[in-house]
Structure 1
Amino acid sequence: MTEEKDTLTFAKRLKYSTLASHDSVDTLVMQSEPFANEENYIKFLRVQHIFHLSVAPLYHQPDLQTLLSGLAELPRLFAVESDLADLGLTLNVDKKDVACIDHLYEAIGWLYCSEGSNIGAAFLYKETQKLNFDAHRGARHLSAHVDGRAPHWRKFVAQLDALNLTDEQTDQAVKGAVDAFDFYKKTLKRIF
């Protein structure tokens, strides 16, 4: 296993180390039927809001911006908040419900989850159209990056792979990614 682990790029290591967590989030989201009706979609937006509130500070953290160029242009918090406003919903969130990520390398794992979610959002975005939402109303945060989903993801992955982290730092990033998935599941269960 060590030999196999050593041959993986950093992004691949994140992917394979979090596969079960990622799949369990996908399963839980679909079991929640977020697109069955507007009421469920509102709950889904609330979950998204809490997650993006949690990761938003990371996009502006100077140490992370040094490691990952262009990071400040990527957060989707404003888009989620615009989607909530489209539905006439308040933006109030109890601070105790928002995660505090204060470890640099764990934060990279959280960003991996946040940016990776935009790839899976292609399917979710199509589902929102059944509820008459789109990139202009109600589903902005699920729309594709201006460069396209796949090109944006490849660029982000290339930046991750160029980080040249130590094994310990990589393990911390994996922990952060697992924590991010766990936080999302916990939030989803609470709101649904």
Structure 2
Amino acid sequence: MTTDTLERPAESRAKALKALTHETHDKLDKSIMAGRPFESRERYGLFLKVQYLFHRDIEALYSNPVLDGMLPDLEGRRRFAQVAQDLADLGITPPDATQPPAFEGGEVDIPTAMGWLYVAEGSNMGAAFLLKAAAGLGLSETFGAHHLAGAPEGRGLHWRTFTAALDKVDLDEAGEARVAAGAEAAFHRVHGLVTQMFANA
């Protein structure tokens, strides 16, 4: 099959990505929980620093006009400012960035960006559990855990609206591969940040 032939996954793109990245995702989840981020506010602060650097990586994507035309309420889905507010609530200085963001202003590879946004949106879907754990530290959607808050319409609908739009985008075979590679890269990026932040904690 030539790469200029449009090809949809046999199942939805979101479901295909979930299956493809299952092992990487599971490894990341285990590494996060191994860091015991909800044992204390200090350890939670390390988790916030991971979130800060990841969302800094993708912040520019939420202002991309091409992605904005494809994905619903893209502006309302960004969480970098909320993570920064959570750090400020706890009196934690944002971490120094040792490298430029994965995405900056200007042109981006759209399929790759779709993969990264799939990971970002999926993390919000799973944040209900994390929000409950944060409550044990006296944190909430209005103090210290703004970025874990669910959407007004509910996490499930917010996610389904996103994945429905993601599934509708026509891509050729090479584009599908870049979406998958983008999702894998995003998971690996977060895993690297977790290792970096919790290594000596």
Q: TM class, shorter-chain normalised?
A: over 0.9
User: Percent identity between the aligned chains?
Assistant: 37
- 1:1-192 to structure 2, matched below 5 A, reads 6-96=9-99, 98-100=101-103, 102-192=108-198
**SS of 1:81 mapped into structure 2:** helix
Unaligned runs of 5+ in 1: none
Deviations 1:113-160 (A, max 9, x none): 000101111111100000000001000101111111101001001001
CA–CA distance in 2 between the matches of 1:143 and 1:100? 24
CA–CA distance in 1 between the matches of 2:173 and 2:153? 32
User: Which amino acid in structure 2 is aligned with residue 140 of structure 1?
Assistant: H
CA–CA distance in 2 between the matches of 1:181 and 1:162? 23
Q: How many residues align?
A: 188
Contact 2:67 2:110 in 1 (8 A): yes
The structural deviation recorded for 1:100 is 3.4
TM-score using structure 2 length: 0.89
Aligned to 2:5: none
Contact 2:50 2:197 in 1 (8 A): yes
Unaligned runs of 5+ in 2: 1-7
The structural deviation recorded for 1:6 is 4.2
User: Which amino acid in structure 2 is aligned with residue 110 of structure 1?
Assistant: W
TM-score using structure 1 length: 0.93
The structural deviation recorded for 1:92 is 4.7
**SS of 1:99 mapped into structure 2:** coil
CA–CA distance in 2 between the matches of 1:97 and 1:8? 35
